[in-house]
Amino acid sequence: MNRQYSTNTITISPMNRPRPSITAAFRWEIRKAGNTWYWLATVLFDAIGIFNGWDQYQSYRPDFQAQGVTWAAVWGQAILLPSMVFIPVLVAAFAAQVEANEHKGRNWQRLNASGMVGTAIVGKMLHGLLASLLTVAIFESEFILVGVLVGGFDPAELGPYLMRGVPMTLAVWAIMTLTQAIAARAESFASTMSIMFLLTLAGCVLSVAAPALALPYPLALITTASAARDMGNIASTASMAALCMTAILWVLISLLIFRHEARRAV
């Protein structure tokens, strides 16, 4: 029976209470998932990758200058370690921490009871996309600053590297969504990170031992999206489009699993 609460002439029914909007859910995710440590760590570990790329450029500078190679000489080595290890692990830790807190507070049970799981998941997905965009933007910004201020490279040649930010962002989003799906099942931060670390390690092994098999693998997708191992195709729009579709497919698969596991929390 539907219980109603009345105050003078105002009657409020639980069935008719206004539901939080997707915008409100999105803002709430931003507010509760600040995680300053993640952004500081991202800046630091990206800088390590940039340093590796710049060091390689300096080591072979005469050869690169003779060939007219600038940005490409730094990019390949600069993105390799962050894309294979640093970014996947940090992104997984970021998402795993947020989802572990949801389980500690029994938030999924409350959301299921109120029928707002769908809204919450959409808010999380939008927040994940924003965090992924900013994650890639940090690397791109450091890369550009070093190239322009230290190397004196021509900014007009940055087009392909900026365009690569699109599939890279979607690849990061795929890892974040996959972590959320695993965390919804594993519940604890330690369990989720153990699984994600093993998946990241498998991605590193595949990237080195069998690059062809690593192409569609979600934890190796950032490396593929950056064209770090295929610099000849850095400007290939066909390659970027294919990688975007692959990343989106992983996002959708992970989203279905995430939604299923979240609705099971009772």
Q: Examine residue 141 and state whether it is found in any structural domain, yes or no.
A: yes
Q: Is it the case that residue 106 has pLDDT exceeding 90?
A: no
Which domain does 202 fall in, by range? Answer: 21-264
pLDDT at position 193 over 60? yes
Cβ 254 vs Cβ 181: under 8 Å: yes
What would the pLDDT profile of 138-183 be if each residue is shown by its tens digit? Answer: 999 999 999 999 999 999 999 999 999 999 999 999 999 999 999 9
**Residue 230 forms part of a structural domain:** yes
Q: Are 159 and 235 in contact (CB under 8 A)?
A: yes
Domain-embedded: residue 3? no
Q: Tell me the per-residue pLDDT of 1-53, one tens digit each, with 9 for 90 and over.
A: 444 433 344 343 444 445 668 888 778 777 776 688 999 999 999 999 999 99
Report the 10 Å Cβ neighbour count for 36.
7
SS3 12: strand
Residue 131 domain-assigned? yes
Residue 4, domain member (yes or no): no
Alpha carbon 137 to its chain's center: 11
| pLDDT at position 75 over 50 | yes
Q: What are phi and psi of 12, to 5 degrees?
A: -120, 125
What pLDDT, on a 0 to 100 scale, did the predictor assign at position 50?
96
Q: How confident is the model at residue 196 (pLDDT cuts 50, 70, 90)?
A: very high
Is 7 contained in some domain?
Answer: no
Q: Is residue 16 part of a domain?
A: no
How many domains does the chain fold into? 1
**Is 84 domain-assigned?**
yes
